[in-house]
Chains A and B, each alone.
Chain A
Amino acid sequence: MAFEPNEPQEKIKYDEMRIYSDEELNNYTEEELKNFKTKHDTPMCDDLESGPWPSFVADAKREALHRRKLADDRILLSAETVEDTLGQLEDSFVDGETHWKHGGIVGVFGYGGGVIGRYSDLQEKYPAVAHFHTLRVNQPMSKFYNTDFLRTICDLWEYRGSGMMNMHGSTGDIILLGTTTEQLEPIFYQMTHEMQQDLGGSGSNLRSPSCCLGRARCEWSCIDTQDMCYELTHYYQDELHRPAFPYKFKFKFDGCPNGCVASIARSDMSFIGTWKDDIRIDQDAVQAYIAGDIAPNGGAHAGKDWGKFDIQKEVINLCPTACMWMEDGKLMIDNKECTRCMHCINTMPQALRPGADTGVSILFGAKAPILEGAQMAVLTVPFMKCEPPYENIKDLVEKVWDWWMEEGKNRERLGELIQRWGLPKFLEVIGLPPMPQMVTEPRSNPYIFWKAEEVPGGFKRNIEDYRVKHMR
C-alpha cells in the first residue's frame, strides 16, 4: 500500500536549511587527527579505542577536532563541548560515579517531553558542558531517512548543539546530546516548522512508537507495521507530548513473530503480526530444499560447509511443538499446534510462508530496565484483525490506559500493575475470557482463579479449612 500522509505535506527546503559547506565539513586531515591532543588527558577513555569494535571515543575525537577548526561564528556553543564531555567521562571512570545531574524544568513550550535537562556537577572544571540538555527526535517509521534529512539535522545540531548524537536510543529516537536552554526553542522551531519533524516522548508519556521494516522490505510481515505505527503516533499526539500517565508507556510493532524490534521484551503493549489460517506450503519447493537445489536459511551461514540439508534434523526435529512430519514425501503440519516460532519458515522461506488470514497478537506488560526487574510480555489477545483506521485497536488501548491511569501507582509500569492485581482483573478490564496460553507457570503461578459462578454447578468451600494447609 502506498504511503498516504495524514495531513498535506509541504516540500521540505533542505537546500535553504543547510549551514556548512563541503570544505567546512571536511576541515581536517587524517594526519592532523593523528597528532591531535584533546584538552584533557583521558587515558581510560583512550583505552576504549583499543578494542575490536569502532569506538565512540574515536568518533568523539574526530568531532572535537572538527569543532576546533570551525570558525568561532560557525557554532553557537563552545568548540570544547566534546573535549569537556570526554574529560568529564574520564573523571566518572576514575571516581566510579556519574557527574551528570539530570532532570529539571527545561523543555519547549507546550511539550512535557522530548527534552531532558542535564547538568554537570563539575561545572568549573568543564564549563562547556555545564548545561547540556538532551533532545529526543521521533524517528520516522522503520527509520527510513533520506540523506538530505540526515545532513540537515547534523548541520542544525553542529550549529546549535554539541555536534554529538546517538543513532538511536532504545525507543528508536535520534538522541541529540547536549545543548543549552536558549537553543531549545530555535531547534524545536526548525524541526517542527521547517523539517516537519517532531520531538519524541520522554517522562510519563507515551514514548515514540517504533516498528520493524514491515511490508516495505519484508515478505513475512503479516501487518503493515509502518502504517499502524504512523497512525497511532499521530492519533495519540496528546499522550506523546502531555504527560499524565503514572509512568512511561511503550508501543512497539513487529510484523511477524521473528520480532525484529523485540516488542515482546521491550514494550508495555506489544503488537506482533500473526495468522490464523494455515502455513502455506509449496511442496515442490520443499523437495527442492531436500535435493539441495535451494540453499536453506536464504543462503545465510554459507561461510562453512554444514553438509547436506537434512529436513528431519534441521527443521522437523527442531519444531518446539513437534507439529511437523513427512508423509508420502510431503511435509505435513498440524497447524493448530503451531506456536509461531518461525523456525521452519526462516529455514525454508521459498517453501513455507505465513498464512494469508493475518492480524496481530497483542501482549502486555514487558519492561526492560537496565539494572533489575526485566519482564517479558504476557500473550493476552491471541488474534485481532488489524486494518486501518485500527478502531478496534484504539478501543483496546484506551481501556487499558483508563485502568492504568485509575489504578496505577506513581512510577508503576503496566506489567507491574497487572502483577499486583492479577491477570483475571486485567482480563475483566479488557473484556476477554482467560485461556490456557496465558498461564505461564501452572504450578506456582496459575494466574487464573475461577469464581464459583463461572464454573457449571459452582462449588463450595470453607476458606478456613483451606487456610489450614495454605497459610498466607
Chain B
Amino acid sequence: MEDIRNAILEFAEKSKKSKFYFSDMEKAVKKVIPDVKARMVKKAATSLINEEKLIYFSTGSTTMYGLKGKGQTEDH
C-alpha cells in the first residue's frame, strides 16, 4: 500500500495539471507497479484523502483528484 501511495503522490506532484482523473492516476501507478489493481489504487487514494494530502475536485457531474496546496485548493 505504501508504494502505491508514494506513486500517487509522485504523480500528483509532477503532473502539469493540478487536477486529474482517477484513471490517469491509475495509469501512472501502473507504470511503477504494473500488476496493481484499480481497487488498491482507490484504497490508497482514499487514505491520502483522509490524511488531507489529496483533495477531491467535483464539477457536480465528474470528480477529479488533486494535491492539496497545488492549484486551486481553497474555497473561492
How far, in whole Å, are A94 and B15 apart by their CA atoms in the complex?
41
B56 contacts A107, C-beta separation under 8 Å: yes
**A341 interface contact, C-beta 8 A:** no
A-B contact count (CB 8 A): 89
CB closest chain-A residue, reference B21: A410
How far, in whole Å, are A112 and B41 apart by their CA atoms in the complex?
15
**A228 interface contact, C-beta 8 A:** no
Residues on A with beta carbons closer than 8 Å to the beta carbon of B38: 244, 402, 405-406
B57 contacts A102, C-beta separation under 8 Å: no
How far, in whole Å, are A203 and B46 apart by their CA atoms in the complex?
15
**B11 interface contact, C-beta 8 A:** no
B57 contacts A104, C-beta separation under 8 Å: yes
Give the contact stretch, choosing among A113-121, A187-195, A439-447: A113-121
Residues on B with beta carbons closer than 8 Å to the beta carbon of A85: none
A105 contacts B57, C-beta separation under 8 Å: yes
The majority secondary structure among interface residues of chain B is mixed
Residues on A with beta carbons closer than 8 Å to the beta carbon of B61: 202-203, 247-248
Residues on A with beta carbons closer than 8 Å to the beta carbon of B22: 204, 243-246
Closest beta carbon of chain A to B44's beta carbon, Å: 11
A112 contacts B56, C-beta separation under 8 Å: yes
The majority secondary structure among interface residues of chain A is loop
Residues of A in contact (CB 8 Å), total 35
Q: Assuming the A-B contacts A204-B22, A246-B23, are A119 and B76 also in contact, with contact meaning beta carbons closer than 8 angstroms in the complex?
A: yes
Q: Which of A103, A242, A411 contacts B58 (CB 8 A)?
A: A103
Residues on B with beta carbons closer than 8 Å to the beta carbon of A410: 21, 23-24, 62
B66 contacts A102, C-beta separation under 8 Å: no
Residues on A with beta carbons closer than 8 Å to the beta carbon of B57: 103-105
**B63 interface contact, C-beta 8 A:** yes
Closest beta carbon of chain B to A188's beta carbon, Å: 14
**B45 interface contact, C-beta 8 A:** yes
B23 contacts A104, C-beta separation under 8 Å: no
B55 contacts A203, C-beta separation under 8 Å: no
A104 contacts B75, C-beta separation under 8 Å: yes
Q: Assuming the A-B contacts A112-B49, A243-B22, are A203 and B66 also in contact, with contact meaning beta carbons closer than 8 angstroms in the complex?
A: no
What is the 8 Å Cβ interface bit string for chain B, positions 35-76, against chain A (1 contact, 0 not)? 000100110011001100001111111110010000011111
Q: Assuming the A-B contacts A244-B22, A244-B42, A410-B21, are A204 and B72 also in contact, with contact meaning beta carbons closer than 8 angstroms in the complex?
A: no
B58 contacts A117, C-beta separation under 8 Å: yes
Closest beta carbon of chain B to A310's beta carbon, Å: 50
A106 contacts B75, C-beta separation under 8 Å: yes
CB closest chain-A residue, reference B46: A242
B49 contacts A203, C-beta separation under 8 Å: no
What is the 8 Å Cβ interface bit string for chain A, positions 114-132, against chain B (1 contact, 0 not)? 0111010000000000010
**A350 interface contact, C-beta 8 A:** no
CB closest chain-A residue, reference B55: A105
Residues on A with beta carbons closer than 8 Å to the beta carbon of B45: 244
Q: Which of A129-175 contact B (CB under 8 A)?
A: 131, 134
A202 contacts B75, C-beta separation under 8 Å: no
What is the 8 Å Cβ interface bit string for chain A, positions 14-58, against chain B (1 contact, 0 not)? 000000000000000000000000000000000000000000000
Q: Which 4 A-B pairs have the closest CB atoms?
A: A203-B63, A243-B63, A103-B59, A116-B60
Can you show 26 pairs from A to B with CB atoms below 8 A apart?
A103-B57, A103-B59, A107-B58, A112-B49, A113-B58, A117-B75, A134-B60, A181-B75, A202-B58, A202-B61, A202-B63, A203-B58, A203-B59, A203-B60, A203-B61, A203-B62, A203-B63, A238-B42, A242-B49, A246-B21, A248-B61, A402-B38, A405-B38, A408-B23, A409-B23, A410-B21
Question: Other than the known A105-B73, A248-B61, what 7 A-B pairs have Cβ atoms closer than 8 Å?
Answer: A103-B58, A115-B58, A134-B60, A203-B60, A238-B42, A247-B62, A405-B23
Binding site for B on A (CB under 8 A): 102-107, 110, 112-113, 115-117, 119, 131, 134, 181, 202-205, 238, 242-248, 402, 405-406, 408-411
